[in-house]
Amino acid sequence: MLGLLLVTSLLQSGSRQASCCSGMAQFANDPTFLEAHLSPVPFSFVAKSGHMVHWKAADGKEAHGFYVAPKKGNKASLILVHEYWGLNDYMKREAERINDKAGYGVLAVDLYDGKVTTDSKVAGEYMQGVNSTRATAIVKTAVADLKKGDFGAKASKIGTIGFCFGGGWSFNSAVQGGRNVQACVMFYGMPDTSAEAMAKLKAPVLMIHAKKDQWINDDVVAKFSTAMAASKHSLQVLHYDAYHAFANPSNPHYDQKDANDAMAHAYAFFREHLK
């Protein structure tokens, strides 16, 4: 119930809805949200094809992430945004998995500036501590630098993808990227339905929705659908009879069947729009 009240208050506040960053951060005060994010299963990752990279963000400060170059013959790249644990080994492995499966270049951005945790309460504090201006500067420059080829391979087309906290920031990355982003996939993330975001967004969006999600619930999805339709944007919503974070492989309650199906649809969506 608390999660629903928080979502309702966000959607009804002021003339401009809270950003995806502050929207998800509100949930860090909800004990049930913290309980839904069990500590990641221990995992040791050794990079095979990716490596850490650094670049100057739009705010003049250094940003960093994990980059995997596109496979030979593939000119598209993705921005990948982490869950609220931070840019951990699971996200780095996910970047390599996407690259192995689809051949895209993948830049997994770090919006926590190096902070990673396995403690749900600490993760909530990190999420609340994200400065929207700073995070926007990171993703905006990441898109532009992928387009220019500053990481070694010039991206002819760019997509975004993220989970939970990263789902909202996948959407925000597409908003900030404007015409440089051709496809956005967001897994159970809080969308920004403000007029400003709708005006900047140019990419079609695929939203993965967990029907048992107490936070990114049916009401949030309905309002997002209405805003997208009113601004004549393309939105596809896939509904799964699952709980929040069902596609996170670090979650002990990871739903592999639904997660694989959702990712298969994500790959098909990218193939359609990143040709």
* DSSP strand pairing (157-163 vs 76-81): parallel
* Mean pLDDT of all residues belonging to the chain: 90
pLDDT band at 119 (very low <50, low <70, confident <90, very high): very high
Q: Looking at the DSSP assignment, which residues form a beta bridge with residue 30? A: none
Predicted TM-score of the model (pTM): 0.91
Q: Summarize pLDDT for 89-113 with one digit per residue, the tens.
A: 999 999 999 999 999 999 999 999 9
pLDDT > 70 fraction of the chain, expressed in percent and rounded: 92
Lowest average pLDDT, out of 20-29, 77-86, 242-251, goes to 20-29
Torsion on CA atoms 171, 111, 35, 217, rounded to nearest 10:
-10
In a 13 Å sphere around the CA of 243, the CA atoms on its Cβ side amount to 12
Q: What span, in angstroms and rounded, lies between the C-alpha atoms of 80 and 86?
A: 12
pLDDT value of position 157: 98
pLDDT band at 41 (very low <50, low <70, confident <90, very high): confident
Flag whether pLDDT at 7 surpasses 60: no
Torsion on CA atoms 126, 129, 132, 138, rounded to nearest 10:
-50
Amino acid sitting at position 84: Y
Flag whether pLDDT at 197 surpasses 60: yes
Q: What span, in angstroms and rounded, lies between the C-alpha atoms of 181 and 202?
A: 7
Helices 165-177 and 132-148: angle between axes, nearest 10 degrees: 60
pLDDT band at 10 (very low <50, low <70, confident <90, very high): very low
Range of the domain at 217: 2-38+47-273
Q: Summarize pLDDT for 181-190 with one digit per residue, the tens.
A: 999 999 999 9
Lowest average pLDDT, out of 9-23, 67-81, 94-108, goes to 9-23
Flag whether pLDDT at 14 surpasses 70: no
The C-alpha R_g of the chain, in whole angstroms, comes to 17
Written as six digits, the tokens of 174 are 């597409």
Q: What span, in angstroms and rounded, lies between the C-alpha atoms of 154 and 219?
A: 39
- Can you give the CATH number for the domain in which 197 is found? 3.40.50.1820
219/250: higher pLDDT = 219
pLDDT value of position 30: 84
Domain count, the chain: 1
pLDDT value of position 114: 97
